[in-house]
Amino acid sequence: MDAEKNQSVLVTGARGFVGRATVKFLRNAGYEVVALDLAPVVGDELGVTAVVCDISDATRVRRVFEEHRIAGIVHLAAILPTVSQREPARATEINVVGGLNLLEMAREFGVRRFVYGSSVSVYGTGSFEHVVSESDPAAPEDVYGAAKLYVEQIGAAYRKRDGLEFVSLRFGRVLGPGANSKTSNWRSEIFEFLGAEKPVKIPIPYLSSELLLVIYLDDVAHAAVTLLQAPRLEHGIYNAINESIVVADLKRVAEELNPKVTVQLGAQVMSGNPRRLDSGRFAREFGVGTVPVFERLRQAREGGGVVSE
């Protein structure tokens, strides 16, 4: 999708982990960006139009579309899984009603392409052996996954009825520096602590034998922008190119790269997500590949790592 002159791409959740990376990719590709979040977008998102908006507020969302010419949408705003379980009403307002508000405005204001940041949690828990593809039935096990699936279904209805080019990108746990997570800091610390000069500990709650479905931050952002830019889309749902890693291997690689790092493992069993994913549809259609996560870690170490404050 090439935005016409004086038109922009709207990114929701623009201050978030994936949102910041997506804004960066879009800006590097030459797009004008309207960066929407509950709090002002600052710092490394200079050069974008920042909008403070609660997407569950239909009146405020309408105002965004009235004030800006939006050619495409990358919708990443969401209440994340842990908080969704704790605050289901608020999660429904943001994750479902907010998505509906955006879809309705996309229809009314003639937006062509709507890229939805979904989740592999729509599939539910997968076995160690089963490789999940887009043709597998959805079976979400929590509020977060159920909301993602419902918005996918609403989006499909808009696609069929109104011709909106709605497309869903399903991805797993996102790894990379800068997450600022309150519930799974290890996803960033595994990169940020590679440059540590004093002993540091990274707690990862899973059993050493567990298999986690992960994707590097830049790969998610690149995939979202790829879907936005594609001249045409063969499908309405794509699995992003995720990777299955064994927790024990993640521990070994991190500790080998920096002996000051100790990864402490727990006894938690992975639930609510597949362990293996077929990403062939996306790779074949768009000719996209990724760098393995362990190679990303090695590159980060060679670059000096990032030590969090």
pTM beyond 0.85, yes or no: yes
Which pLDDT belongs to residue 45?
A: 54
Answer yes or no: do 250 and 232 share one domain: no
Do 110 and 195 lie in one domain? The reply is no
Domain region containing 261:
175-214+242-273+287-302
Whether residues 24 and 12 fall in one domain? yes
Q: Are residues 44 and 151 in the same domain?
A: yes
**CA angle, 276 as apex, 271 and 282 as ends, to 5°?**
125
CATH number of the domain bearing residue 249: 3.90.25
Contact 293, 254 (CB under 8 A): no
- Structure confidence by residue, pLDDT tens digits, 276-299: 999 999 999 999 989 999 999 999
Q: What is the pLDDT of residue 307?
A: 46
- Residue 180 has a pLDDT of 77
DSSP code at position 27: H
276-277 vs 70-75, strand pairing mode: unpaired
- Tell me the CATH number at 79: 3.40.50.720
- Whole-number Cα distances in Å, 266 to 209, 258, 259: 11, 21, 20
Residue-by-residue pLDDT tens, the chain, 309 positions: 655 545 799 999 999 999 999 999 999 999 999 999 998 766 555 579 999 999 999 999 999 999 999 999 999 999 999 999 999 999 999 999 999 999 999 999 999 999 999 999 999 999 999 999 999 999 999 999 999 999 999 999 999 999 999 999 999 999 999 887 777 899 999 999 999 999 999 999 999 999 999 999 999 999 999 999 999 999 999 999 999 999 999 999 999 999 999 999 999 999 999 999 999 999 999 999 899 999 999 999 988 665 443
pLDDT of 39 reads: 84
Confidence at residue 46, expressed as pLDDT on a 0 to 100 scale: 59
Asked if 205 and 264 sit in the same domain, the reply is yes
Q: What's the pLDDT score for residue 32? A: 95
CB 123 within 8 A of CB 274: yes
Please name the residue ranges forming H helices in the chain. Answer: 17-28, 58-67, 81-86, 88-92, 98-108, 143-162, 186-192, 217-229, 247-257, 280-286, 293-302
Q: According to the model, what pLDDT value does residue 309 have?
A: 36
pLDDT of residue 6: 58
Say whether both 296 and 158 belong to one domain. Answer: no
- Who's near 194: CB < 8 A, 6+ residues apart? 254, 257, 258, 261, 297, 300, 301, 305, 306
**Contact call for residues 85 and 142 (beta carbons, < 8 A):** yes
Gap between the Cα atoms of 74 and 11, Å rounded: 5
